[in-house]
């Protein structure tokens, strides 16, 4: 039985590194039926705005498996990346990047046996790209994090640990500052961890995680984290073990798996037959394990290590010191099939069990909810006390009260000890109901109408209490 895999060579060095990977995988004798498809620069130039043609999407829908090279968005042909299109269309919510020391590669960490798996949430967070200019000089990006997304990625991280026989999962968040969004990840992690008692679960603040990864990277095993944290930590990880030529990766979702290196199309090296194919090749090794071809994966992995141990390498490792070409390096790996290395002890890999979560859209249920007020974001340069007096009057006319005004999260009215931060032309006014009542639509619209007669508002947020818990945070200095 052969497995059908969609193959995209991609742009720049893609043809060379994906070509090398295909040749090495085929040489193991594993039966793969490659469906070669297009995406990237040439497709954009044909006027397909996504950079991914229908035939390619159809192929991936059928195979549910993709091995790909890097894709470019040529200047002047749309602003969206074909990579992001693929990840979003197929909801590959988990990005995994192994960070492991290679023999023969000189780094400041040589001999420390770094062996980390970074699990990055891949579809939520600031990367949803929901951005607005609140004023010409004040930009806003929405950081959307869901309980379901957090449970999925945390469960996935523990399943990765089980599949690879790992012992510890760290969850890196900024929950101390972003108590709702990053805090949701922390809380989901702590809840999910209870289902995996054999694995040690530790929360770590993400900045400390970066610090510890540089000081003692050998202490980490699996790290699970939100999208932007993961983007940064995983590049930090690549830097620890030899750079982009050694950084494989995979994007996984429910019933879908896409394998690709971290690096891009390195246009300066395209067509020169000098580039290091290891990152894409080890992404291919991850693919082989995903489809259950553990022996072939082991053969390739060990042959790569043996090749490096024999001092055979491409020019990125030690410039101008006997480096071989990409094709020579590819053949050198195939020649070493059957060799083993003590650098990476054999692991009892299993297939990663993908999480199965409820499909319910209202994933978290509440028994009660109440809208108790409204945050209104204003564009104004009005003097603060005048603004405060105006908004207090507007509120009292409607049986509301102005709780406070803040500037970028710091209360400015009433001010804290007469101090004001560096002011801009944007602020937020918080209005609350006077009594125990609910703020209805009529009152909301009336408030906005009355504010709008004197001030320009551009954004609002309802202040809701869910099951007795405030669904909004306080400003710095708000009581
Ligand atoms: P890049 O292609 O990753 O290349 C940056 C540098 O990294 C190269 O000049 C080279 O550096 C080194 N490098 C990359 N791959 C290597 C390999 N296999 N072996 C050895 N060294 C390697 O990043 P970029 O120049 O920023 O991006 C180029 C294009 O790729 C852009 O259009 C970008 O959008 C796209 N891109 C695509 C993906 C993707 O498809 N997933 C990811 C990233 C970027 P030295 O000069 O130090 O040797």
Range list of H helices, 336-372? none
Q: What is the 467 CA–ligand 1 centroid distance (Å)?
A: 49
The per-residue b/e assignment along 217-244, b for 16 or more CB within 10 angstroms, e otherwise, is: bbebbbbbbbbbbbbebbebbbbbbbbb
Q: Which atom of ligand 1 is nearest to the CA of 260?
A: 41
Task: Choose which residue among 52, 69, 127, 244 to substitute to test ligand 1 binding: the one with the highest number of ligand atoms within 8 A of its C-beta.
Answer: 244
352: burial class by Cβ within 10 Å (0-12, 13-18, 19+)?
A: buried
Tokens describing residue 466: 């869910």
In short, whether 279's Cβ falls inside 6 Å of ligand 1 is: yes
Q: Please give the Cα distance from 340 to 324 (Å, whole number).
A: 21
C-alpha distances (whole Å) from 20 to each of 16, 161, 306, 312 are 6, 30, 17, 16
Of the residues 9, 93, 127, 455, which is catalytic? 127
In short, whether 444's Cβ falls inside 6 Å of ligand 1 is: no
Q: Which atom of ligand 1 is nearest to the CA of 267?
A: 28
Question: Is the pLDDT confidence value at 477 over 80?
Answer: yes
Q: What is the mean pLDDT of the chain?
A: 95
Residues 249-265: pLDDT tens digits?
Answer: 999 999 999 999 999 99
Q: Please give the Cα distance from 301 to 297 (Å, whole number).
A: 6
Residues 106-121: pLDDT tens digits?
Answer: 999 999 999 999 999 9
Tokens describing residue 326: 């990409």
Residue 235's contacts (CB-CB under 8 Å, 6 or more residues apart) are: 262
User: CA torsion 18→71→37→26, rounded to 10°?
Assistant: 10
Q: What is the 306 CA–ligand 1 centroid distance (Å)?
A: 26
Residues 375-425: pLDDT tens digits?
Answer: 999 999 999 999 999 999 999 999 899 999 999 999 999 988 888 889 999
Of the residues 11, 115, 221, 231, which is catalytic? 231
Percentage of the chain with pLDDT > 90?
89
E strands, 71-125, where?
Answer: 94-100, 115-121
Contact 26, 288 (CB under 8 A): no
Q: What is the 112 CA–ligand 1 centroid distance (Å)?
A: 27
Query: Is residue 318 very low, low, confident or very high in pLDDT (cuts 50, 70, 90)?
Result: confident
Whether 425 is catalytic: no
Whether 127 is catalytic: yes
Residues 372-388: pLDDT tens digits?
Answer: 999 999 999 999 999 99
The confidence score (pLDDT) of residue 319 equals 73
Q: What is the 137 CA–ligand 1 centroid distance (Å)?
A: 33
Whether 174 is catalytic: yes
Kind of pairing between the strands at 115-121 and 131-135: unpaired
Of the residues 33, 207, 397, 440, which is catalytic? 207
Q: Please give the Cα distance from 378 to 426 (Å, whole number).
A: 6
Range list of H helices, 371-440? 384-396
Sheet holding 426-433, edge to edge: 410-413, 400-407, 426-433, 369-379, 456-466, 469-470
Tokens describing residue 282: 């080890």
Contact 321, 311 (CB under 8 A): no
Task: Choose which residue among 249, 263, 267 to substitute to test ligand 1 binding: the one with the highest number of ligand atoms within 8 A of its C-beta.
Answer: 263
Contact 31, 3 (CB under 8 A): yes
Residues 173-201: pLDDT tens digits?
Answer: 999 999 999 999 999 999 999 999 999 99
């Amino acid at each position: 039985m052969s497995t059908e895999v969609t193959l995209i060579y991609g742009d720049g060095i893609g043809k060379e590194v994906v070509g090398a990977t295909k040749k090495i995988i085929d040489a193991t004798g594993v039966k793969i039926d490659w469906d070669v498809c297009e995406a990237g620069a040439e497709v954009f130039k044909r006027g397909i705005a996504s950079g991914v043609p229908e035939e390619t999407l159809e192929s991936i829908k059928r195979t549910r498996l993709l091995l790909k090279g890097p894709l470019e968005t040529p200047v002047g042909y749309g602003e969206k990346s074909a990579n992001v299109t693929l990840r979003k269309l197929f909801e590959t919510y988990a990005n995994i990047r192994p960070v492991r020391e290679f023999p023969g590669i000189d780094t400041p960490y040589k001999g420390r046996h770094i062996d980390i798996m970074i699990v990055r949430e891949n579809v939520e967070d600031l990367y949803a790209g929901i951005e607005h200019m609140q004023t010409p000089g004040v930009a806003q990006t929405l950081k959307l994090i869901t309980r379901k997304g957090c449970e999925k990625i945390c469960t996935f991280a523990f399943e990765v640990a089980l599949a690879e026989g790992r012992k510890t999962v760290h969850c890196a968040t900024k929950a101390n500052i972003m108590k709702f969004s990053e805090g949701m990840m922390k809380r989901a992690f702590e809840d999910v961890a209870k289902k995996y008692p054999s694995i040690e679960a530790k929360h770590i603040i993400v900045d400390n995680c970066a610090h510890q990864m540089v000081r003692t990277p050998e202490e980490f095993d699996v790290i699970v984290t939100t999208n932007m944290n993961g983007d940064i930590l995983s590049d930090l990880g690549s830097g620890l073990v030899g750079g982009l030529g050694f950084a494989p990766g995979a994007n996984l979702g429910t019933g879908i798996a896409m394998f690709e290196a971290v690096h891009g199309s390195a246009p300066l090296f395209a067509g020169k037959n000098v580039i290091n194919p290891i990152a894409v090749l080890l992404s291919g090794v991850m693919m082989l394990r995903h489809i259950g071809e553990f022996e072939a994966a082991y053969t390739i992995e060990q042959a790569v290590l043996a090749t490096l141990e024999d001092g055979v390498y491409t020019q990125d490792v030690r410039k101008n010191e006997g480096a071989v070409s990409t094709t020579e390096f590819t053949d050198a790996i195939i020649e070493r099939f059957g060799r083993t290395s003590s650098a990476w002890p054999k692991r009892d890999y299993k297939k990663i069990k993908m999480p199965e979560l409820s499909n319910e859209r209202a994933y978290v249920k509440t028994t009660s909810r109440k809208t108790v007020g409204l945050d209104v974001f204003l564009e104004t340069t009005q003097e603060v006390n005048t603004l405060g007096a105006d908004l207090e009057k507007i509120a009292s006319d409607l049986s509301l009260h102005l709780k406070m005004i803040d500037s970028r999260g710091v209360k400015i009215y009433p001010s804290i000890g007469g101090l004001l931060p560096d002011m801009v032309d944007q602020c937020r006014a918080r209005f609350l109901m006077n009594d125990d009542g609910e703020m209805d639509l009529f009152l909301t619209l009336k408030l906005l109408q009355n504010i709008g007669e004197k001030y320009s508002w551009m954004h609002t947020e309802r202040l809701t209490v869910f099951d007795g818990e405030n669904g909004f945070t306080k400003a710095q200095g708000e009581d």
